[in-house]
Structure formats: C-alpha cells, structure tokens
Amino acid sequence: MSKIFYTFAVKMIYRFKVRFEEEEDFERWIDIKTTATFLQFHNAIQDTIKFNKKEDASFYVSNDSWKRMKEITLPASANESKNDNSPVIAAYINEPYQKFIYVADHSMEWTMEVELSKIMDETKDVFYPFIAKSVGNPPRQNGLQISEAELAEEMISNDIGIAESDDLSEPNIGNLPRTESEDSINLDDFPDLDDIDGLDFSEED
C-alpha cells in the first residue's frame, strides 16, 4: 500500500500533526515534502522544539493504538555524514492517517505522537519544512520551559518556514501563503479507510 502513496506523491506535501505524549497544550503542524527523509523530518522537529540534535532519536511506525512497530533509528552522528542514509518518509506511509511515534531524545525519553493529517499540493515559493500551525511552547530538553521569543528566533536561525503570526502560540492556518484547492487531498473525505486499496490517487491529465 505504501507504494501507492509514494508514486503519486512525488510533487505533494505531507502535513503531520506533532504533539508531545505528555504535553496536551503543545502542538505543531509540519508540512514537509513527500520526498523528504526521516532525518530531514527529525531535524525539522528538533528545530521547532529547540532540541540540540546531540542525542540519539528514533521514529517508530505505529498502529492506530500507538503501539510501536518498526524502528527507524537516527543516531546523534547522523548529521555528521554528508550522505543521508535514512529512509524516505513515503516508504512507510501505509494508510491515510499513518501514525508514528518519535522519540526525540532517548536519554530523556522525550516522546512525541506524529500523525499524518493531510496530503496536498506543494505551494510555490514556500520553503519546506513549513510550520503551518503552532500551539503552545515546547519544554526544554532538560525539562525547563522555552519562551515564545526564543523559539521564534531559533526557527528563523535554522531557516524553518513558519506562517506569519503575531502570537506563535495561536493557530495561524489563515496566514498560510496558500489556499486549499480542489486538488488537495483531505483524508477526512475517506469514508472507509479499510477500502484504501480501491482508491485511485493518480492525477488526471
């Protein structure tokens, strides 16, 4: 099934909802290219939560009950190599609302729930990964709280795209430099997720 998503989505964008397992007031919606790797996704999440990327991390393919399945390891040394050997995200998208568990720091067991919420067209002049929605402030890697100003400054310094907003803690979907089109694929429209094999994702000429 993942092959279906991978072949049609070359020029598409995944929107993932990301939240800490124990932090109900924190949420990020991250738009990332379907051609991106797990290392690129890891770096995008680490930048938006302002972690130092110096600890081992992992993604786990998850079932609907948030049970960890296959692990994709991302050692702290992953960014030191010139070659990104991590898998492409699309290779592990097996269902419309695919879930992943992301352990951002194995030493502290910072755990996040990551869920695919939408697949849509790439928008011209948008730098990806792109923070489409931002709610709440992440905890510091050492357990302390990070301020909104520090977070915004860090994301700018790391060239992470973010929707314009006066308040980083408020949803800002309305400020995205895009409008939803009829070509966007809203996964809420799937009436029966068990029947995905019968769906045709190919683009019409």
Q: Give residue 91's pLDDT.
A: 97
Residue 133 has φ and ψ, to the nearest 5°, of -150, 140
Query: Which of 1.10.8.60, 1.10.287.3510, 3.30.465.10, 3.10.290.30 would CATH assign to domain 2-188?
Result: 3.10.290.30
- Residue 205: both structure tokens together: 């000429």
In tens, the pLDDT along 34-91 reads 999 999 999 999 999 989 899 999 999 999 999 999 999 999 999 888 889 999 999 9
Distance between CA atoms of 181 and 183, rounded to whole angstroms? 5
- Residue 26: both structure tokens together: 């924190």
**Domain definitions of the chain by residue range:** 2-188
The per-residue pLDDT string of the chain (205 residues; one tens digit each, 9 = 90 and over) reads 444 444 444 589 999 999 998 777 899 999 999 999 999 999 999 999 989 899 999 999 999 999 999 999 999 999 888 889 999 999 999 999 999 999 999 988 899 999 999 999 999 899 999 999 999 888 877 765 555 666 666 566 555 555 544 344 433 333 334 334 434 445 555 445 455 555 555 555 5
- Residue 7: both structure tokens together: 């072949």
- Residue 97: both structure tokens together: 């609302």
Residue 49 has φ and ψ, to the nearest 5°, of -100, 0
Q: Give residue 164's pLDDT.
A: 44
Query: What does the mean pLDDT of the chain come to?
Result: 78
pTM passes above 0.75: no
- Residue 180: both structure tokens together: 């939803």
Q: For the chain, how many helices (H) and strands (E)? A: 3, 9
Residue type, 140: R
Q: Give residue 76's pLDDT.
A: 92
HSE at residue 192, side-chain half, CA atoms within 13 A, is 5
